[in-house]
Structure 1
Amino acid sequence: MGFWSRLVGREERSVNALENPTVPLSAGAEEIFAFFGLLDQRGHLPPVTIDAALCVPAVLGAVTFMSRTMAALPLHTYAGTEKRDGDLAMLLNEAPNAEWSSFEWRRYMWQQIFTGGRGPCWIERIGTKPVAIWPMDPSLTTVARVRGRKIYRFEGREYPATDIIDVPFMLKVNQIDAYGPVNLGRKAIALAIAMNDFAATFFAGGGVPPLALEGPLPQGADAFKRAQADINRAIEMAKKAGTPFFGMPPGHTLKAIGIDPDKGQMTEARLFQIQEIARIWGLPPVFLQDLSRGTFANTEQQDLQLVKHLIGQWAKAFEDELNLKLFGQRRRSLKVKHNLDGLQRGDFKSRIEGLARAINTGQLMPDEARALEDRPPDPSGHGGKLYIQGATVPLGTAPSKIGHNGGPTLDDDGKDPADGGKSADD
């Protein structure tokens, strides 16, 4: 029994159809949802793959934003507190191998992490020295534990965990497999896909919802199909001609079925899905272009939240993995660290005022402040010293010894009693 026939009520039934349990009286809810594109023909939400998920703008925005942001962070090598240049710094911050730039390598790795949950990379070494880093296809990589040791199998070879950079999105309980955000959030993403499909079907049909034909219907399946084809043809001709109406057989009407997108709060539902998808990656909604509740004040706060509670955490996970795999478990002062200062910059006025205050309170040298703004050192050579305002004195200094301008107080004869009675002119 066809869905359309049951929907319009035209089916060859016995007179006692109400008493016949084998004859359905109407289409089921799942078939109606499937007809509207909200369910597939198996009665489920649309299947979600990584490729299908990336067709949802909110998912694409989350993955591209996170991967590009993490890839753009400067990544430096330090020995203690001193920044070091050299081959390793070049591998991490410029080119990990002869084929990939540092940005493209890290962006590819983070894209795999923020979709499938894992983006392994192999460290090529000569002896113990890293000479290249190669990204691996996670769909062709398997992880196993052999004799208590974790190994990675890729393209017919086995690699020890000590040679693999691996930052999983979330480990499963077996400590080997990883959850991916697309899989974890598949129902929310599937609902967004279903609403996209419904909206596309609705507007592709000229905004005409599914219709049911009411009135005396032709007898016989073939006659009904011809009548249905005539009605469809009339609707298409009216749409192409731009006319507001088309003719109907006498005694017949077309009645819209289903939910009106406006009454079904389609716009609000799609907006909610953006917020729901943002939660999967922990992103503030403003970074998925959702400014429905954004103001100048809370948008700036969301910017701070991004660095403190999301980017900073993933940066720490990547730093620890690099430090472990590049330098070993018992490293001393060598370490790799991101520079998050660029993401934490405020507006120009606030930034300059903050730097000036740091210089005046002896926290930064002028040359250090200039370096933060990508400016050269002071050519006069005075920028390499710490300065403090003259009125600032050490705690415990007697007030009688301090003048109004921070200098020593002179006695009635104009002499400094703390300096053997010499006058200011001396």
Structure 2
Amino acid sequence: MSLFSNLFHTNKASPKNNLSSTMSFLFGSTTAGQNVTERTAMQNTAVYACVRVLAEGLAGLPLHVYQYGEDGNKKRAIDHPLYFLLHDAPNPEMTSFIFRETLMNHLLLWGNAYAQIIRDGQGNIKALYPLMPDRMDVNRAANGELYYTYTRNYDDYQAKNKSQQVILLSNEVLHIAGLGFDGLIGYSPIAMAKNAIGLSMAAEQYGSTFFKNDATPGGVLEHPNIVKDPERLRKSWQAQFSGANNHSVAVLEEGMTFHQLSIPPDQAQFLDTRKFQLDEIARIFRVPPHLIGDLERSTFSNIEQQSLEFVKYTLNPWCVRWEQAINQQLLGAGNYFVKFNVDGLMRGDYESRMNGYAIGRQNGWLSANDIRELEDLNKIPADQGGDDYLVNGNMLPLKQAGNFYKNTQPNESEDDN
């Protein structure tokens, strides 16, 4: 029996972790009456904004392959085959930005991101292509190896054609998993928070219906006498004063009066509900509200701090998740690794940066060229002191303080002469 057949020769007792069967119970109608899926959730403006901020934020970061040297220092490995794929173009159809934006979009909506690894005859990685996470099943064979079952071009997942399924081994798939319960697959944030998103969608639908009716509540026609045919009177009133005629002037006869009904207070609060759900959805994705257009509690003094916290506590964990998955599945063990550069996002205003550079320069852990590289400026030639590290002249180790004092005093023998 070959290695391939031995891998997929499963039995009833073999462990299995099926994504579709695990997640199916989470989706469907919510308590607010809305059907929430990954695709319908993107029609909600708050969800779309959060996904866009995170996907574009990670995709826009420089991603480099580094190599550790013998001295322990790292340098960019621009000659490594993966450098071009990750930094510029993972395949002939996509740029690195589009590729990472697509996978990050999958991570945020489905909780998993998959990419097929294309290798040449020698096993070298030649291209990476995104795979739709809702078409992927993750399973474990009898020998403990993971394998991936991908369904191509289908309309109904439950009625899929078995001949359209492709089995991929673990070394043929780049799998970045989000937060999950077993460490194997991530769970969809949309599925986990479907009721909060469904409430936001219901409030939006209610507002659309409310304004479709000209935001005007109904009313009551009061007649001094008994109306023999109230249904005919109601239809006659609607025909004359509803729809395109809703602003026509009404002429009431036979002593009738019209009383307009006010909006119930609980229904009039739907705008506040929508604002609260905006914060609720931003909380799901851990995105500061000001990044999705909610500036109600943002001020000039705190908006910069919120942006820095977004990089440290929201974007950075996603970067680590990406880096470790790529290192483990594409680079393997060795002295090569990938890393996102978030220094540009962590920079504060001009004055704060200059003060920080001054401290580093005066204490000897930043050179002029180190600072110029952080500011995207050309380096100063080494023979002109660009790589020199300086310290303040009056800062000496305590044990040398006495020697410095003696060396600065005049020689007594010279004074006697």
Query: TM-score interval w.r.t. the shorter chain?
Result: 0.7 to 0.9
Q: Determine whether 1:190 maps to 2:198.
A: yes
Aligned residue pairs: how many? 363
Question: TM-score, structure 1 length as denominator?
Answer: 0.77
Q: Determine whether 1:319 maps to 2:323.
A: yes
TM-superposition CA deviations, 1:325-359 (whole Å, max 9, x none)? 0122xx13211111110110101111122112212
Choose from 176, 190, 193 the match for 1:167: 176
Whole-angstrom CA distance in 1 between matches of 2:354 and 2:390: 17
CA 1:277/1:237 → structure 2, altered by over 3 Å: closer, same or farther?
A: closer
**Greater alpha carbon shift after TM alignment, 249-258 vs 85-94:** 249-258
CA 1:255/1:266 → structure 2, altered by over 3 Å: closer, same or farther?
A: same
**Partner amino acid, structure 2, of 1:187:** N
CA contact (8 A) 1:214 1:255 kept: no
Cα deviation for residue 145 of structure 1 reads: 1.7
**Partner amino acid, structure 1, of 2:54:** M
**Partner amino acid, structure 1, of 2:175:** D
Choose from 287, 298, 301 the match for 1:283: 287
Q: Determine whether 1:76 maps to 2:72.
A: no
Q: Determine whether 1:113 maps to 2:107.
A: yes
Where does residue 261 of structure 2 map in the other structure?
256
CA contact (8 A) 1:218 1:227 kept: no
Query: Unpaired runs of 5+ in structure 2?
Result: 1-28, 69-73, 153-164
Q: Relative contact order (alpha carbons < 8 A, sep ≥ 6): 1 or 2 greater?
A: 2
CA 1:42/1:414 → structure 2, altered by over 3 Å: closer, same or farther?
A: closer
Whole-angstrom CA distance in 1 between matches of 2:397 and 2:359: 18
- Aligned Cα root-mean-square deviation (Å): 2.8
Choose from 374, 378, 383 the match for 1:376: 378
CA 1:85/1:210 → structure 2, altered by over 3 Å: closer, same or farther?
A: farther
Where does residue 8 of structure 2 map in the other structure?
none
| Identical-pair percentage | 28
Where does residue 56 of structure 1 map in the other structure?
44
**Partner amino acid, structure 2, of 1:164:** V
CA 1:92/1:227 → structure 2, altered by over 3 Å: closer, same or farther?
A: same
**Partner amino acid, structure 1, of 2:379:** P
Where does residue 53 of structure 2 map in the other structure?
65
**Partner amino acid, structure 1, of 2:209:** T
TM-superposition CA deviations, 1:259-296 (whole Å, max 9, x none)? 257x7323322111111001111122222222211223
Superposition pairs of residues 226-375 of structure 1, within 5 angstroms: 226-236=232-242, 239=245, 242-243=247-248, 245-248=249-252, 250=254, 251=256, 253-256=258-261, 259-260=264-265, 264-328=268-332, 331-375=333-377
Where does residue 409 of structure 1 map in the other structure?
408
Where does residue 142 of structure 1 map in the other structure?
137
Aligned residue for 2:139, secondary structure, equals strand
Question: TM-score, structure 2 length as denominator?
Answer: 0.79
Q: Determine whether 1:129 maps to 2:129.
A: no
Aligned residue for 2:242, secondary structure, equals helix
Cα deviation for residue 307 of structure 1 reads: 1.6
Choose from 187, 204, 209 the match for 1:201: 209
Where does residue 92 of structure 2 map in the other structure?
98
Whole-angstrom CA distance in 2 between matches of 1:56 and 1:42: 15
CA contact (8 A) 1:234 1:247 kept: no
Aligned residue for 2:408, secondary structure, equals coil
**Partner amino acid, structure 1, of 2:125:** P
TM-superposition CA deviations, 1:156-177 (whole Å, max 9, x none)? 321122332222232245x555
Aligned residue for 1:98, secondary structure, equals coil
Aligned residue for 1:335, secondary structure, equals strand
